[in-house]
Amino acid sequence: KNEVEQSPQNLTAQEGEFITINCSYSVGISALHWLQQHPGGGIVSLFMLSSGKKKHGRLIATINIQEKHSSLHITASHPRDSAVYICAATISSGSARQLTFGSGTQLTVLP
Amino acid sequence: SQTIHQWPATLVQPVGSPLSLECTVEGTSNPNLYWYRQAAGRGLQLLFYSVGIGQISSEVPQNLSASRPQDRQFILSSKKLLLSDSGFYLCAWSGYRGPPYEQYFGPGTRLTVT
């Protein structure tokens, strides 16, 4: 079983819809990261959070430490949001520099 | 601001040939540097990381090696490529203050071994 699990694996939405991608983890972590991988392969770090909630534009990331769960929300989705979204964890007991990755969520937003 | 460069962007190499991929970071000092590989249809896998010049940690045994000859330069090499080395190679950096460390990724090199 993966230490970091994401769902759904694939998600198709209509433009304007509110989108939620979920990430759960089974071990203690010091941080949870959300990354965005564009179709060309480039990866952008969206958020790193250890508690609570962070917001950047239409993107919101939340984490519940007790439930070992994080969500990435996209409000008013747009076709340019189409990408693979990856959650990754810095595991407390491991190397502080190593990220453990989820399998990614392929998001397609249709116009 | 910080910038991370990788080259080449795309590479096609025959089996058994050598490999050298380069990554450089601008706008920061003493970064942690990382090499990742993403095989087709699979997730990211950490290959190497470095906390300083000449200091390399290997996460996965393989026929690849890494070197850090300068503070902001990270090189991934192989003496003889295998078909299984095909994939998308990403370099990343993070600041030295942490944990946790937020990582910033380069544009990647797509390697096809034929």
Task: Round to whole Å and give the CA distance between B21 and B109.
Answer: 8
pLDDT band at A1 (very low <50, low <70, confident <90, very high): low
pLDDT, tens digit, for every residue of A28-68? Answer: 888 999 999 998 888 999 999 999 999 999 999 999 999 99
> Which chain A residue's Cα is nearest to B58?
A98
Tell me, what's the pLDDT at B12?
Answer: 97
For A60-72, the pLDDT digits (tens) are 999 999 999 999 9
Q: How confident is the model at residue B101 (pLDDT cuts 50, 70, 90)?
A: confident
pLDDT at A70: 98
Other CB atoms within 10 Å distance of the CB of residue A8: 12
Q: Does A106 have pLDDT greater than 90?
A: yes
Q: Do B49 and A97 touch (CB under 8 A)?
A: yes
Alpha-carbon distance B104 to B90, whole Å? 10
Instruction: Provide, for chain B, the percentages of residues in helix, strand and coil under a 3-state DSSP scheme, each rounded to the nearest 5.
Output: 5, 55, 40
Q: Which residues of A touch B59 (CB under 8 A)?
A: 98
